[in-house]
Amino acid sequence: MDINIIENFIRKQKVAFICSVDEEGFPNVKAMLKPRNIDGMQRFYFSTNTSSMRVKQYRNNPNACIYFYHKGLIKNVGVMLKGKIEVFTNQEAKDMIWLKGDTVFYKGGVTNPDYCVLRFRAESGRYYCDLKTESFSIDQ
């Protein structure tokens, strides 16, 4: 599988599904806005609330996966990336992915303590197209 085709697919999606393992050992999943920033296929940056359940879960257990899915007329495509998520609350990270319109979500702007950054580092992936699946590795 050509990794560039997978990256192009991911960059076109508007929604990312991000998964964690909670305190009781259950998988959790949530739809989020697409990553703010993608650095190659290694690092994916998301904005979120510092007070959110997800942040608590990743601080406790960084194991994660992110998933992109498109249900097409002809074929359905899904890409799952496995890796770890780190939570960043430092101003440099927060500045990096901030967009003007974010004040709608985070009152007071980029210094709002309830705004933070999730950085996902991909380690491996799996590509699904209709009934076929293929695993792939991510260059580190």
Please report, as ranges, the residues that interact with a copy of itself according to CB under 8 A: 14-15, 17, 19-21, 24-31, 53, 61, 63-65, 67, 69, 71, 76, 78, 80, 82, 105, 128, 131, 133
Q: Is 86 exposed, middle or buried (0-12, 13-18, 19+ CB in 10 A)?
A: middle
Are 33 and 15 contacting, i.e. CB atoms less than 8 angstroms apart?
Answer: yes
CB of 14 to a copy of itself, least distance (A): 7
Pick the closer one to a copy of itself by CB: 26 or 100. Answer: 26
Pick the closer one to a copy of itself by CB: 79 or 97. Answer: 79
Radius of gyration of the chain (CA): 15
CB of 95 to a copy of itself, least distance (A): 23
- Which residue do the tokens 């560039």 mark? 4
